[in-house]
């Protein structure tokens, strides 16, 4: 488990229970892990809050083995989706916590080596999407 702040890692500590899980402080845009070190990476509500979602996804692709999977859950617009209210509120929401105007297809197009294998609406009438990617072998 990775987080930028010690405070969030401390909150996660009691929740890890009996899981074989190491908690690491680090930046998702500069992952402190070696290339190809993971079979699976989970990006849970991260791509819409980081300053550069493309860089975060590139870093994730770097640390996942060929044939490995990247699982993403976040709020994304779909390519071509107007969503004027979400786009208008995004600058304010980004100052507080999260962006509402990230188009996942644009982020993925800027990252080499990842292929989309699943994309389903998850919560809030499709505002959240459950996405599965595979890294090219």
Residue-wise pLDDT tens digits, 37-65:
999 999 998 998 898 999 999 999 999 99
- Alpha-carbon torsion angle 14, 19, 23, 27, nearest 10: -120
pLDDT tens digit string along 85-135? 555 655 555 556 666 678 899 999 999 999 999 999 987 677 789 999 999
Helices (H) and strands (E) in the chain, counts: 4, 6
Phi, psi of 117 (to 5 degrees): -120, -10
Backbone angle region of 63, left / alpha / beta, with phi > 0 → left and psi within -120 to 50 → alpha = alpha
């Amino acid at each position: 488990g990775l987080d930028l702040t010690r405070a969030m890692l401390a909150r996660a500590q009691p929740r890890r229970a009996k899981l074989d899980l190491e908690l690491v402080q680090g930046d998702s845009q500069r992952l402190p892990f070696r290339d190809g070190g993971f079979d699976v990476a989970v990006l849970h509500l991260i791509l819409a809050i980081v300053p550069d979602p493309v860089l975060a996804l590139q870093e994730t692709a770097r640390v996942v083995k060929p044939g490995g999977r990247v699982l993403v859950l976040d709020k994304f617009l779909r390519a071509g989706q107007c969503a004027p209210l979400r786009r208008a509120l995004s600058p304010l929401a980004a100052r507080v916590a999260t962006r509402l105007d990230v188009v996942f297809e644009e982020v993925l197009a800027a990252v080499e080596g990842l292929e989309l294998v699943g994309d389903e609406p998850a919560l809030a009438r499709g505002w959240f999407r459950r996405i599965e990617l595979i890294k090219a072998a």
